[in-house]
Amino acid sequence: MKTTFTSSPWKVIAFVVLIIIVLTSPFWLWELKSSKELNVLILDKTVPDKSFREHKGLVWLLNNQKYKKSDQTTYDDHADYDGVVPVEGNNFKIKPLPKDLDKYAVYYLTDQYGVYEKDLNGTNPTGERSKTLYGGLSMDDLDKIEHSLIKNKGKTLIAEFNTFASPTENDVKEKVSNLLNLDWDGWIGRYFSDLSSKEVPVWIKKDYESKNGKWNYKGKGIVLVNQNDFVVVLDQSELKGSGADFLLTDNGKKAFGHHFNGTYQYWFDIVHARNQQEVLANYHLSVTKDAQKKLKGFGIPTTFPAVVHQRNAKYTSYYFAGDYADEPEVPDIYQTVGLTRLKEYFGAKGSFYWKVYVPMMKQILSSGINDPVKPESVETSEQDGVKLNSKTNSSYLQILKNGKWENFLVKGVNMGIAKPGAFPGETAISKDEYLRWFKEIGEMNANTIRVYTLHPPAFYEAFYEYNQTAKKPLYLIHGAWVNEESLVRTQDAYSKDVTEDFRRELKDMVDIIHGKASIPANPGHASGEYKYDISRYVLGYMLGIEWDPEAVEHTNDKYKGKPQFSGHYFHTDDASPFEMWLAENMEYTMSYESETYHWQHSMSFTNWPTTDLLHHPAEPSKDEDLVSVDPNHIKSSNGFHAGLFASYHIYPYYPDFLNYEKDYTDYVDKDGKKNNYAGYLHDLISKHQMPVLVAEFGVPASRGMTHRNASGMNQGFHSEKEQGEIDKRLFENIVDEGYAGGLVFTWQDEWFKRTWNTMEYDDPNRRPFWSNMQTNEQHFGLLGFEPGKLDDAIYVDGNDGDWEKKGTDPIYQSKKKDSSLKKMYVSSDDAYLYLRVDYSRKLNLQQDHTYVLLDTIQNQGQKAIPIEGGKKINTDFGIDFLVEINGKKNTRVFVDSYYDPFEYQYGHLLHMIPPMPTASQKNNGVFNPIRYALNKPFTIPSTGKSYGFQSYETGKLLFGTANPDDKNFNSLTDISVSDDKKSIELRIPWMLLNMKDPSQKEILGDLWKSGLEGKDVINGIKLAVVETNGGSVSSEFPQQKNDLISGADASVYTWNNWEEPQYHERLKQSYEILQDAYKQTDLKEDAN
């Protein structure tokens, strides 16, 4: 008994102690944990009061996980952040970022929305808008962060909502988008448990009511708002869930090793990742089918990224598309282990902070920072005291890999120097634009960029920065431009005007790539301070332009008998004077680079079929086979080690001999198909003694067309998909025929360009200010500049959501209940005039015909408008253009024959088509189809066969969908019908309406009085619409009076003039096709 009695208290004590140990274990185990040093810079500009809620959740987590600053102190949510600091008396102060950010390992950008007058100290519970006091991510802040990320390897950038939306400026958005490798779509959103509650901000309700009437919503819902304050509401009848479902992707599951999902119910933004493999989690809006269609009409996806993670060679980044660190109610105590896991599994239902953010951030902080990728090194060698990073053998350029020279297949793109709104000489492309493009080019599996001339300093800075961060480098083939105007004017390459200007460009080019140039301002040319040495990434030089054959021939004639050139780096053998001129300038370039910088780069010059080394018996034009510029005549001397290669611009449709030379048209390619392009490639390369690079190839994705090709690879009238498929085929032909590679033409669309069959119909001084869909030369790019801002564009897809979002009011609206025509809308942008006609019943396109009448130019036009059944509609105002919607095969735009530039130019002026006798008479009763020229009459010398004038109808309209998000997207779409068959929308390219410059409302004038050079400026376009059924008029806008449509009753559509075009970038379908081609195509192992 005594033993039992005496041991029992000890058991009780031990049990109590054990209980105490267990109960206190979260605290003492936390104390036993080692702390970890991690310097985190927090930037929070949305601190209207002392709750510090926007970063409170982050600070609590850092302390709970025992991360300490470098001074070994814990984080304080009141003090350890930069941005807005509230002080007494409804005031605040600004705590700027430190000058030097190098000590920080992580930069965390929480909400950048800012503080507003009514928000200070919680005085604005209803969310009314008020004056901005301070806010928005600033360029100064971002420059500091970017500099530290690039300068120091292994840092991490984390950003979350609101990084992009107001009040952050556009140039800052562009830069932070590059840093995070994603883009904001212009939308923000939030789930509300009760749409009738005060939790819904007053500004949302006011914006909604300004366009839609009273806010009467109740129950749960999601509200979405774009940057133009357009509000979309999904109410409880449209929602299947209670917020945005947060779902890890497969890559997210691998990255976090933890399959957490949840429902997010606070503010989010809609972004898209530039690389889909970087998306670790998506939001999904679980909504009804009708709601899906509604969202699609507004351009809003139902699934979009929630977490995007980028790894590059310098830093890692994460973007959280939500207010994740915003957690006002964290525990007062953080010194405990297991609490986060307890909260994750047993905490408040639906707590996103505990169930998703905390476990995700724990994983990121423990293993997801300081995790850059290992870059592929660029190696150099040295020979005779000069550095080399490339050389050539008989077939390919070569680069060093692990100390050995390996063949390098060029898979590249050409890049111009212009963007919309600027001519090339204005060098208007920004560093952030260049950097974004370089990333997209790298993602396309390209390895080389070629430029034609000197770019502004921003290009070289961005190119250097890209190669510091990229896993695989991009190489550069740098061109030097010859002043073509001087060469053509003097007809003498050796003239002082030509050669001095060229050598100035050559010297500047060499200085620039070595980061040692200071070029004074010179209108029409790049200038500035060039400080970035990119020489190790320069694959070679490509001098000159597509040579004017007459200038070459005149130079040869003038300097006939000139002795062959012999230099230290190059010499000539059996060369013409023009070829010797090239060799002398190559010598000048290499002498300067070798002696000044002790570097050499591979060398080439630009060439094209017009001046190739072959004879073309089938070429009908004398100038296209007049003279040769033969690369074989220029040789390397002992002093040059980087190697020569030949370069040609080769397209499948030009010159004409490609379509008529029998050896080419009968040539069978590696796929067993007749292929004139491959036939020419085969012939050309067989005559060369060095590698041959196709420096330009490709076809445009354009509505307009200029040349036809025997195999359908025409210059124009291709969809983006067709463009990609043809570009892929051309590249495969290039590789199959043993070329050193190819550079697709071109990276970006070029609005300033012209082409021969439209250049007399527009204003040459205003080309960059609008997108001419009829000029194919403007649309070779893989990157398109789409008209309109991203969230303000109209897509011809049969859906009216974009019209509603744009706030377009009808120009006509029927008051008659039995009218089949219900409403008509008109809009426009930098490329098109848009028309939408709504009907009160379903349309049968074979029976129901619609006619849109357009009056542009005053005091001319037709007044008796033909409709089906041989009948006519009479007007008292002249109709210059007639759109006939008559089934999928017969819908087209007609032009008044008096106002038809094709008829006037080729019938009246040039006499290449039979002239129409009454064309010069106003109101002659004839509308013409809209046609463009393709080729003038010619004869093939080798066969004597003659071909007549060639043209095609460009006014015919194509049905489909022009929405890039649609499965059946076709970029050539002109017209679309809604799913319910009650609405038609179409887009008409401005040039089809004889617009010389829509940005100034400038049109072609009276052709028969002022010719093609004449112009008028209009106030707008007068429109009418007529619908017929079975040959009878069923309804019209405006209503006829006494069998006449009066101009006094007709509506006039007008638009504001512009000097700055509105556009957004979009990678075309061809980008993805060529991306795959570049990935799949490589050199065979036996390539010599």
- In sequence order, the 6+-apart residues with CB closer than 8 A to the CB of 143 are none
CA–CA distance, 189 with 302 (Å, rounded to integer): 12
Residue-level pLDDT at 18: 77
Do the domain assignments include residue 236? no
DSSP sequence for 901-945:
HHIIIIIIIS--SPPPTTTTSTT-S-EEE-EEEEE--EE-TTT--
Report d(CA 363, CA 252) in Å as an integer: 11
Q: How confident is the model at residue 27 (pLDDT cuts 50, 70, 90)?
A: low
Interatomic CA distance for residues 274 and 266, integer angstroms:
25
3 state DSSP class of 369: coil
Gap between the Cα atoms of 502 and 504, Å rounded: 5
Residues 729 and 817 both lie in one domain: no
Mean pLDDT estimate for the chain: 94
Residues 20 and 161 in one domain: no
Q: In this predicted structure, what is the pLDDT of residue 954?
A: 98
Q: What is the CA angle 1044-1045-1049, rounded to 5?
A: 135
Coil/strand/helix, residue 230: coil
Sign of CA dihedral 146, 148, 150, 154: negative
Mean pLDDT of 25-43: 83
803 and 662 fall within a common domain: no
| Token output for 386 | 């000069």
Mean of the pLDDT values across residues 775-796? 96
Flag whether 508 is in a domain. Answer: yes
Confidence band of 161 (pLDDT split at 50, 70, 90): very high
DSSP readout, 21-50?
A: HHHHHHHHHHHHSPPEE--EEEEE---SST
Residue 461 lies in a domain: yes
What are the tens digits of pLDDT across the range 1031-1050? 889 999 999 999 999 999 99
Percent of the residues in the chain that have a pLDDT greater than 70, as a whole number: 96
Report strand pairing: 397-401 vs 404-408: antiparallel
What pLDDT sits at residue 1050? 98
Q: Which DSSP category does 701 fall into?
A: -
Arithmetic mean of pLDDT, 402-421 = 98
Task: Give me the helix-helix angle, 358-367 and 339-346, nearest 10°.
Answer: 140
Q: Among 309, 341, 367, identify where a domain stops.
A: 367
Supply the CATH number for residue 45's domain.
3.40.50
Q: Grade residue 5 by pLDDT with cuts at 50, 70 and 90.
A: very low
In 3D space, the residue among 543, 556, 641 whose CA is nearest the CA of residue 600 turns out to be 641
pLDDT at 1088: 52
- Dihedral class, residue 861 (left if φ above 0, else alpha if ψ from -120 to 50, else beta): left
Question: 741 pairs with which residues across the strands?
Answer: 410
Is there a domain that residue 80 lies in? yes
Token pair in block for residue 351:
């707590």
| pLDDT per position as a tens digit, 88-117 | 877 889 999 999 999 999 999 999 988 877
Q: Are 851 and 864 in contact (CB under 8 A)?
A: no
Residue 226 lies in a domain: no
- My answer on whether 357 and 398 are in the same domain is no
Q: Could you read off the pLDDT of 490-525 as tens digits, one per residue? A: 999 999 999 999 999 999 999 999 999 999 999 999
1038, 872 Cβ separation under 8 angstroms: no
Please report how the helices 720-736 and 1069-1080 are oriented relative to each other, as an axis angle in degrees rounded to 10.
20
Spatial separation of the C-alpha atoms in residues 928 and 774, rounded to whole Å = 18
Q: Choose the weakest-confidence range: 359-373, 462-476, 762-776, 822-836.
A: 359-373
Nearest by Cα to 132 from 149, 152, 112? 112
The CATH number linked to 497 is: 3.20.20.80
Helix (H) or strand (E) holding 1063: strand 1063-1067
**Which residue blocks in 927-1006 are alpha helix, DSSP H?**
none
Other CB atoms within a 10 A radius of the CB of residue 156 amount to: 24
Helix (H, G, I), strand (E, B) or coil at 412: strand
Strands (E), 745-855: 783-787, 812-813, 821-828, 832-839, 848-855
Q: How confident is the model at residue 122 (pLDDT cuts 50, 70, 90)?
A: low
* 61 plus 134 within the same structural domain: yes
Burial of 980 (0-12, 13-18, 19+ CB in 10 A): exposed
Give me the number of domains the chain comprises.
4
Residue 155 and residue 57 share a domain? yes
Same domain for 17 and 69:
no
Q: Which two tokens stand for residue 877?
A: 């105002």
- The per-residue pLDDT for range 892-916, each reduced to its tens digit, is 999 999 999 999 999 999 999 999 9
* Confidence tier at 371 by pLDDT (50, 70, 90): confident
375 is a domain residue = no
Here the tokens at position 348 are 């408040």
Q: In 215-274, where does DSSP find H-type helix? A: 250-256
pLDDT for 789: 92
Specify the pLDDT at position 20: 75
Q: Is the pLDDT of residue 128 over 80?
A: no
Instruction: Check residue 115 and give its pLDDT.
Output: 81
- The pLDDT score that the predictor gives to residue 2 is 44
On whether both 556 and 692 belong to a single domain, the answer is: yes
Let me know: does 783 contact 1065? Beta carbons within 8 Å: yes
Residue 22 pLDDT class (50, 70, 90 cuts)? low
- Same domain? For 805 and 673 the reply is no
Residue 121 has pLDDT above 90, yes or no: no
User: To 10 degrees, the CA torsion angle through 430, 431, 434, 435?
Assistant: -150
d(CA 65, CA 335): 9
Nearest Cα neighbor of 831 from 889, 784, 783, 894 is 784
- 573 and 669 share one domain: yes
- Please write down the long-range contacts of 496-503, taking CB distance under 8 Å and 24 or more positions apart: 499/581, 499/585, 502/585, 503/585, 503/588
Indicate if 596 and 480 belong to the same structural domain: yes
At residue 487's C-alpha, the angle toward residues 481 and 488, to 5°, is: 125
- Residue, of 350 and 1068, whose pLDDT is higher: 1068
Task: Residue 2: give the domain boundaries.
Answer: 1-30
Please tell me the distance from the alpha carbon of residue 46 to that of residue 52, in angstroms, as a whole number.
9
Cα radius of gyration (the chain): 34
Higher pLDDT, 613 or 339: 613
Calculate helix-pair angle for 431-443, 457-469, nearest 10 degrees: 40
Neighbour-count burial of 897, counting CB atoms closer than 10 A to its CB (0-12 exposed, 13-18 middle, 19+ buried): buried
pLDDT of residue 707: 93
Q: Which amino acid is at 718?
A: H
Does a structural domain hold residue 121? yes
Q: Which two tokens stand for residue 217?
A: 């919503």
pTM of the model: 0.94
For residue 1, pLDDT beyond 50? no
Work out the angle at residue 1074's Cα, subtended by the Cα atoms of residues 952 and 1087, and round it to the nearest 5 degrees: 115
Please list, in sequence order, all residues whose beta carbon lies within 8 angstroms of the beta carbon of residue 24, skipping any fewer than 6 positions away.
none
Q: Output the CA–CA distances (angstroms, integers) from residue 458 to 217, 431, 763, in the order listed.
A: 50, 4, 30
The reply to whether 520 falls in a domain is yes
Task: Tell me the pLDDT tens digit for each residue of 839-883.
Answer: 999 999 989 999 999 999 999 999 999 999 889 999 999 999 999
Look up residue 387 and give its amino acid: K
Same domain, 333 and 390: no
Phi, psi of 1073, rounded to the nearest 5 degrees: -65, -45
Strands (E), 258-343: 262-264, 268-273, 279-287, 303-311, 315-320
